């Protein structure tokens, strides 16, 4: 089976090509511009396939004829299916851009598909990827995939050209055709992979700002809005590939959406939960809002001086284009009757957003949220510096890696899992930074020795060592009587592993008479909260070691800084559901504390609460014990600690939530 695909290096195209190549004896021709040859090579590398099965066809869909006569002669009579995915999807596109690519490009590909028929009458099947946008932004009522021209308004360039390009296929295509209308295509439901900010992703930044600045326990109000026809890219591709090879469904359109899609309010609630932000407990009805609210706003704004500037300022401050905000009140209800019939018995179905929202959020936060703040002073300080960060593949370590790499440092990332390190390395390199991966099990002294030896061989010295990797256990002493190994493994990683790293880098720092060691400790060392005896003891041991070492190395210009880190929302605390209800720092705020340590080189960094708790314990230890005893009973043990099933910790009671709000930061 031979396929010709346009837009093959685009987001949907990459997955579709992979799916087609999985078919037996399949050959895929990809239509590419010469200027995009590097993208073709990247696609070959991604799919691990050569030019014998993934063959470039050089051309341009915006040019009449698209390909040259020699290529046309070679392909004529040999193509079974043409998939047309190339289009402009930018919601900020101009009318000229939209017409050039979406309309003229479609017309040219439709004509090419007709020319690919051979003299015996064999014709390829033409598959056009349209969109739910053909219904416009203000259509009210049920819109089935049998419907097309219903008098709907399509004012925006994207909606207009999606409607018009589908009309071109319907009216001018001389070969059998099928039209696919995906909804809001989001990342892969299994991996979260996505490559641009689009559709629901415009709301991710505002959601993150709310999560970082609003207490988790504070209930929020949202808006109900209309249905949001979301669909993960893997469902879109699986459905397209199946329907494309199904007989008897020519000249039909197929919506590719979730069954009973969430409303705008439900979608925001699902995404907010995935971000571990506060709950949206109630949505305000929006059925009385005008359906064409965006158009009315623009018409009103047209009478205001500098209206275009004002629109851009509003979109920038909100973080969402007005065209997207206008669609929040979508009145269309999409019915995929054709799709359900075509997929019946195939086992292919669209998963519900709540089942994979966590995956989407994690991928976005790691790979796409690369806008990190770096002080100008750090840019001057870090150029070319070699920084070793343990526990660098997630949480605090990963955020610190991004910030320091953006500032120009060479980041040596140390963590246990090679695949995670490679993933984080690719993110930093995409940001323009330098990162080097060193997989290492910090529980093994031999592994640490090999790792540090390799780092010194590669970079000759280390300027800054950040001991960030750590393991925490929330379990009372009476719940640990038969779990002595918890104390051993916590001490092994948090203390012995850290000082082994220090010992291995200390000689080269002393020789160069320059170095900075930063140990990520815990506010627990200052507050002495119950249930953390294993964790706090290990961190306190490292703290004491550092205080003793500091005067020994002062004459060699080696600085030591201990950061008594408050509770941070990282994967380490995720299993303890109790922490969904207490104030926490974000990894970015924790990263800023590390930046401050590098710039100022203080002996210690602690929150005001941590410092107050330390002084209080020195002056009134029995008063502290009384308060912490009460807190011990306010914050229950997790079911896992009591022998139950993990992940079902109880919520704190009202006094506990009040105490956590008044005293933010400790590991309760």
| CA–CA gap between residue 652 and residue 657 (Å, rounded) | 6
In three-state secondary structure terms, 558 is strand
* Residue reference for tokens 């003891």: 537
Contact between 117 and 176 under an 8 Å Cβ cutoff? The reply is no
Q: Quick check: is 610 in a domain? A: yes
| CA–CA gap between residue 575 and residue 459 (Å, rounded) | 37
Q: What is the DSSP string of 91-139?
A: TT--HHHHIIIIIIHHHHHHHHHHHT--TT---PEEEEE--GGGG-SS-
The predicted model scores a pTM of: 0.80
In three-state secondary structure terms, 476 is coil
Q: Quick check: is 118 in a domain? A: yes
In three-state secondary structure terms, 289 is coil
Catalytic (active site) residue 495: no
| CA–CA gap between residue 135 and residue 295 (Å, rounded) | 16
**Backbone phi, then psi, for 275, in 5-degree steps?**
-85, 0
Q: Report the pLDDT value the prediction gives residue 553, as an integer from 0 to 100.
A: 96
Q: Which two tokens stand for residue 280?
A: 């949206």
Residue among 29, 535, 564, 581 flagged as catalytic: 535
In three-state secondary structure terms, 356 is helix
**Backbone phi, then psi, for 501, in 5-degree steps?**
-60, -45
Q: Quick check: is 206 in a domain? A: no
Q: Quick check: is 490 in a domain? A: yes
Q: Quick check: is 234 in a domain? A: no
* Residue at a domain's end among 123, 157, 182: 182
**Backbone phi, then psi, for 335, in 5-degree steps?**
-120, 115
Per DSSP, 350 falls in state: P
In three-state secondary structure terms, 469 is coil
| CA–CA gap between residue 424 and residue 405 (Å, rounded) | 12
> Chain-centre distance of CA 412, in angstroms?
23
Contact between 85 and 53 under an 8 Å Cβ cutoff? The reply is no
Q: Quick check: is 289 in a domain? A: no
Burial class (CB in 10 A: 0-12, 13-18, 19+), 87: buried
| CA–CA gap between residue 10 and residue 508 (Å, rounded) | 48
The total number of structural domains that make up the chain: 2
| CA–CA gap between residue 566 and residue 523 (Å, rounded) | 5
Contact between 84 and 106 under an 8 Å Cβ cutoff? The reply is yes
> Chain-centre distance of CA 112, in angstroms?
38
Q: Which two tokens stand for residue 345?
A: 């018995």
Burial class (CB in 10 A: 0-12, 13-18, 19+), 33: middle
Q: Report the pLDDT value the prediction gives residue 648, as an integer from 0 to 100.
A: 44
- Strand residues in 297-394 grouped as ranges (E): 332-335, 386-390
> pLDDT under 70 in the chain at which residues?
119-121, 286-326, 571-583, 636, 638-654, 656-668
Contact between 159 and 133 under an 8 Å Cβ cutoff? The reply is yes
Sign of CA dihedral 13, 18, 20, 26: positive
Q: Report the pLDDT value the prediction gives residue 618, as an integer from 0 to 100.
A: 84
* Residue at a domain's end among 182, 217, 238: 182
Q: Which two tokens stand for residue 540?
A: 């306190």
User: Which of 556, 503, 558, 566 shows the shortest CA–CA distance to 529?
Assistant: 566
Q: Quick check: is 190 in a domain? A: no
| CA–CA gap between residue 608 and residue 606 (Å, rounded) | 6
**Backbone phi, then psi, for 566, in 5-degree steps?**
-70, 180
Containing structural domain, residue 8? 1-182
* Residue reference for tokens 């912490």: 628
* Residue at a domain's end among 182, 215, 238: 182
Per DSSP, 407 falls in state: T
| CATH code at position 435 | 3.40.50.720
Phi-psi region of 461 (alpha: psi -120 to 50; beta: other; left: phi over 0): beta
Q: Which two tokens stand for residue 618?
A: 């020195």
Q: Quick check: is 350 in a domain? A: no
Q: Report the pLDDT value the prediction gives residue 574, as an integer from 0 to 100.
A: 62
Angle between helix 395-406 and 587-600 (nearest 10): 50
């Amino acid at each position: 089976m031979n396929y010709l695909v346009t837009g093959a290096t685009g987001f949907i195209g990459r997955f579709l090509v992979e799916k087609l190549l999985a078919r037996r004896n399949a050959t895929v021709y990809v239509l590419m511009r010469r200027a995009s040859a590097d993208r073709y090579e990247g696609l070959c590398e991604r799919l691990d396939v050569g030019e014998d099965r993934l063959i470039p066809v050089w051309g341009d869909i915006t040019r009449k004829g698209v390909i040259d006569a020699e290529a046309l002669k070679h392909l004529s009579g040999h193509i079974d299916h043409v998939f047309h995915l190339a289009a402009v999807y930018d919601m900020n596109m101009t009318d000229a851009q939209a017409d050039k690519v979406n309309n003229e490009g479609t017309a040219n590909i439709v004509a090419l598909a007709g020319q690919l028929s051979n003299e015996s009458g064999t014709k390829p099947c033409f598959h056009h990827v349209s969109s739910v946008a053909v219904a416009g932004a203000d259509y009210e009522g049920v819109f089935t995939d049998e419907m097309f021209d219903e008098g709907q308004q399509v004012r925006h360039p994207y909606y207009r050209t999606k409607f018009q390009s589908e009309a071109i296929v319907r009216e001018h295509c001389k070969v059998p055709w099928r039209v696919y209308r995906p909804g809001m295509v989001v990342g892969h439901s299994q991996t979260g992979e996505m490559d641009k900010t689009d559709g629901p992703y415009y709301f991710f930044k505002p959601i993150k700002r709310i999560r970082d600045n609003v207490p988790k326990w504070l209930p929020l109000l949202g808006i109900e809005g209309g249905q949001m026809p979301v669909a993960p890219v893997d469902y879109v591709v699986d459905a397209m590939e199946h329907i494309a090879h199904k007989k008897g469904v020519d000249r039909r359109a197929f919506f590719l959406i979730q069954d009973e899609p969430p409303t705008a309010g439900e979608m925001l609630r699902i995404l907010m939960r995935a971000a571990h932000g506060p709950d949206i407990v109630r949505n305000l009805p929006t059925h009385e809002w005008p359906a064409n609210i965006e158009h009315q706003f623009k018409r009103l704004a047209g009478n205001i001086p500098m209206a275009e500037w004002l629109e851009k300022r509003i979109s920038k401050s909100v973080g969402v284009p007005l065209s997207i905000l206008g669609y929040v009140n979508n009145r269309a209800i999409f019915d995929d009757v054709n799709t359900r019939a075509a997929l019946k018995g195939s086992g292919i179905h669209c998963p519900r957003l709540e089942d994979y929202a966590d995956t989407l959020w994690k991928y976005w936060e790691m790979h796409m949220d690369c806008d990190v703040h770096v002080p100008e002073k750090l840019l001057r300080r870090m150029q070319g510096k070699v920084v070793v960060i343990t526990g660098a593949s997630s949480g605090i370590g990963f955020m610190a890696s991004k910030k320091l790499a953006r500032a120009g440092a060479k980041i040596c990332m140390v963590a246990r899992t090679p695949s995670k390190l490679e993933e984080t390395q690719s993110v930093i390199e995409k940001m323009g930074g330098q990162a080097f991966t060193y997989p290492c099990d910090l529980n093994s002294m031999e592994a640490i020795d090999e790792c540090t030896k390799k780092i010194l061989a590669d970079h000759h010295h280390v300027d800054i060592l950040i001991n960030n990797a750590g393991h925490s256990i929330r379990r009372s002493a009476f719940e640990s009587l038969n779990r002595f190994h918890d104390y051993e493994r916590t001490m092994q990683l948090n203390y012995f592993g850290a000082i082994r790293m220090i010992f291995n880098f200390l000689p080269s720092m002393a020789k160069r008479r320059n170095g900075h060691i930063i140990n990520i400790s815990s506010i627990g060392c200052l507050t002495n909260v119950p249930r953390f005896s294993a964790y706090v003891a290990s961190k306190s041991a490292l703290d004491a070691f550092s205080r003793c070492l500091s005067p020994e190395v002062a004459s060699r210009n080696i600085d030591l800084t201990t950061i008594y880190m408050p509770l941070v929302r990282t994967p380490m605390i995720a299993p303890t559901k109790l922490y969904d209800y207490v104030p926490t720092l974000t990894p970015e705020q924790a990263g800023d504390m590390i930046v401050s340590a590098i710039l100022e080189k203080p002996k210690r960094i602690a929150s005001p609460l941590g410092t107050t708790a330390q002084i209080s314990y020195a002056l009134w230890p029995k008063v502290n014990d009384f308060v912490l005893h009460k807190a011990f009973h306010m914050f229950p043990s997790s079911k896992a600690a009591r022998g139950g099933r993990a992940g079902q910790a109880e919520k704190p009671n009202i006094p506990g939530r009040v105490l956590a709000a008044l005293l933010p930061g400790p590991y309760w």
